[in-house]
Structure formats: C-alpha cells, structure tokens
Amino acid sequence: MTDLRPLDQLLAGARAPLGPHIQLDLGHDTGPLAELAELLTRVNGFTAFNAGVQVFRAGAAGLGAELGHWNGPSTWKDTYTGLADGLFCFGQDLFGCQFAIADNREVVVFDPETAERTPIGAGLDDWAVWLLEDPAVRGAHQFATAWQDERGALEHDQRLIPLQMFTMGGTYDFDNLVAKDAVTCMRVRGPLAQKIHDLPDGAQVHLMADRAPAATPGSKQLAYAELDVFADYNSFMVQDETARFEPDRAWTKALITDLVAARDGVIGVGTARRTTVPVILDVRSDAPDDNFDGWDHVTEAGLHVESGSVIVSMLDYTDAVPRTAVPAGDYKARVYAKGFATVSTDGLHGDDLYHLVLWPGNIRQPQVLKRYPDPLPGG
C-alpha cells in the first residue's frame, strides 16, 4: 500500500513537464485554484495514461494548450454562449472532455457535446482518485494506446473528435474518429451543445431546416436521409458507393469558385464551414420547382448511380458511413444551401444547411443557378 497522496501517484506515471518552470499565482490562497497553482508551479503541465489525459501548461513557452489562452472567452467558450461560464479548465481527456474548476468550489468534468457538468470532488486529489479508480475509461488509457499504436502519436495540441457526434449516435470506432486541433474540436461542438443542453433525455434533436424545396405535383419521394457530414476542407462528396475519385486542382478550384464540382459517379459540394454540417439527401421521382427564395446558393449537376447505393462523406468509404439505397440510373442533382450569413468568421460554427435533391434525368454539367453574392464568412 502506497503512502503517496493521489495526485503524487498520478504524477508518478506522467510525462512532464510541458513547459518551463513557472511560479504561478491564480489569485486564490485556498480552494482548488490554489491547488492548481501549486501543482503547475511544481510541474508545469503533463500528460498521463499515454496522452489519454492532458493537464495544460502555463506561460508562453511549451507544448500544447496554454492555461490562460485556453480559458480565454474567444478561444472556444464563446461558442457555448454561457454554458461554460464559471469554469476554469485545467486539462482534458482524449476526446476533449474538460477537467475544470467550478467557481473555485469543486472539480467537474465538462462534456463538450452536451455542456453537462459532472462533479468529481472538492479538490485535485479527489480528481486524481477519480482518474486512478478507472484509468482505462476515465483516463482513456486503453483507447489512447490503441489509437496511437495504429494511427501514430498525437501532437500535444490535438484531440480526437467523432465524425458523427456521440450524442447523435456516433460510435467509438476508429473510422468515426479523427485527430484535430484541440481548439477546433471544442468550437465545432459548442453550437451542438447549445441545441441539446436543455433537452430531456430521449428527446429528438432537430438540426434540419423546417422548409424543403417544393416538389412538383405528383412527385414521389424515392429515398430520404438526414445526415451529419464532416466537411473537411470546406466540402463533402455525394457519390455512387463504388465510385472512387481523388480531387485535383480543377476540382478544388470549382468547389472554391462555384461550390459544386462533378466527375463520373461523384458530385462535390462546397460548404461555408469546415466541420460537421447537416445534409439532407432527398431523392424524388420528379424535379423540384424553381423557386429559390430563402436559399443562399443553388447549384445543379448530374450523378450516375451504378450500385443502387449513395454515400455522402469526405473520401470516406468505411462501414461507419451511412448508405442510402436509391434506384440505379442517371440523376439530375440540385443542391440548395442556406444559413451562410450565420457562419462565424473562423468558419467553424453556424446554422448553414445543405439540401440535395436528386431526380431521374440526363446527366448535366455543374452550374450555378443562384449565387451567394458575398464572400463566405468562413473564408
């Protein structure tokens, strides 16, 4: 049986420090903030459980997130519009769950997708006990080891984020996770937390628009799917399941200029945000009408579906990506986009929506039917 206090036991297996020695004063003589100042004066930041847990360093030099900057309102907390108020975050786990001190009274875990706060204890030793009781899960030790064994070491400024959010049914499969800048991971999830924070358990989350493009009389819906799509590099692709395509310079230029590009079996859709966006795939027997009121940008292209199955993703063909069954054949495709003016200047959060309507018809070259007149807020 060890005589070490829990925090010392945690440090015994840590990799430290992440920054040079600093004499830290957080303005409190008692409480968990005083304990944090003492800890970082002793060891200026560290990782534990094979980077499953990270405690931020303080000061200008060092690795990973800096304590003061991380807690600045414009770093990521502004995307939570008050839901993170009163929290001083001092670390995070592999998936961006924040370890935080609430009002210098208690240590909590802050869930980045729901903004829920789970109390752990009155101080940092309670936090250390909580981690050490189940390091495989609470410290993400087992997952961090497996991920890095297969995908390589994480940078100190990276965390993992799901392509389909956990609260939206996403899994912990490797195919549903990507390593991204830790700040980006938080800013991406802030708007989601705003929408679901006050919902009761089991409530449905509606991220889609209320109004769909109007159908012509007699049109039948052949397939329909509401999807959350990771639009890496401000784009995603709609394609026949068997189609494979590597973007080239012309493709990228078309997406930047017109927000639409096409190749055999593939349509590219440009987006205002470079994160997870809501996409509606709507397959009909006839064309929608030509009323574009309420939509910011409307494009058209054509899609050949050979396999009878369509996927919407960004160069991701894994089993984790949903498939939508559609009749095989040639389709005209129209992409309606809205909400561009709501997108933040960093291109990470907003209320943009992409509604893709397919209907049987001859393949046509990509064209813009209605162009958004202003530069996209995300740049």
Judged against a pLDDT cut of 70, whether residue 15 lies above it is answered with yes
Is the pLDDT at 29 greater than 90? The verdict is: yes
Average model confidence (pLDDT) for the chain? 91
Check whether residue 266 and residue 181 sit in a common domain.
no
Distant-in-sequence, close-in-space partners of 66: CB < 8 Å, separation ≥ 6: 19, 56, 57, 58, 59, 60
On whether residue 288 sits in a domain, the answer given is yes
Summarised one tens digit per residue, pLDDT across range 92-150 is 999 999 999 999 999 999 999 999 999 999 999 999 999 999 999 999 999 999 999 99
78-102 mean pLDDT: 96
Residues 308 and 240: their CA atoms lie apart, in Å, by 8
Beta strands in 163-265 (DSSP E): 177-181, 221-230, 235-240, 260-263
248 and 325 in a single domain? The answer is: yes
The predicted pLDDT at position 211 comes to 60
* Residue 295 falls inside a structural domain: yes
Is pLDDT at 188 greater than 90 in this prediction?
A: no
Single out the residue in 179, 196, 213 at which a domain terminates. Answer: 196
> What is the CA angle 136-52-183, rounded to 5?
145
- Report yes or no on 177 lying in a domain: yes
Same domain, 325 and 245: yes
> Domain check: are 361 and 324 in the same one?
yes
The secondary structure of residue 196, as a DSSP letter, is H
Q: Is 66 a domain residue?
A: yes
Q: How does residue 233 score in pLDDT terms, banded at 50, 70 and 90? A: confident
Indicate whether 107 belongs to any domain: yes
What local confidence, expressed as pLDDT, does residue 103 receive?
96
Asked if residue 203 belongs to a domain, the reply is no
Q: CB–CB of 295/288 below 8 Å?
A: no
Is the domain of 35 the same as that of 175?
yes
Same domain, 103 and 157: yes
Number of folded domains that form the chain: 2
Q: What is the domain range of residue 177?
A: 6-196
- At 226, which CATH number? 2.60.34.30
On the 0-12 / 13-18 / 19+ scale of CB atoms within 10 A, 72 is exposed
Q: How confident is the model at residue 158 (pLDDT cuts 50, 70, 90)?
A: very high
Terminal-residue alpha carbon distance, the chain: 58
- Answer yes or no: is 379 within a domain: no
* pTM across the whole model: 0.62
Same domain, 271 and 191: no
Measured distance CA(126)–CA(117) in Å, rounded: 16
Considering the domain architecture, whether residues 37 and 120 belong to the same structural domain is answered as yes
Written as six digits, the tokens of 98 are 């924040």
| Residues 296, 251 within the same domain | yes
> Would you say residue 216 lies in a domain?
no
Q: Is 210 a residue whose pLDDT tops 50?
A: no
Residues 45, 184 within the same domain: yes
Answer whether the bond into residue 247 is a cis peptide, omega within 30°: no
Instruction: Give the position of tokens 């039917």.
Output: 369
**Are residues 272 and 183 part of one domain?**
no
In tens, the pLDDT along 340-353 reads 988 888 777 788 99
Q: Are residues 361 and 315 in the same domain?
A: yes
User: Residue 209 — pLDDT band, cuts 50, 70, 90?
Assistant: very low
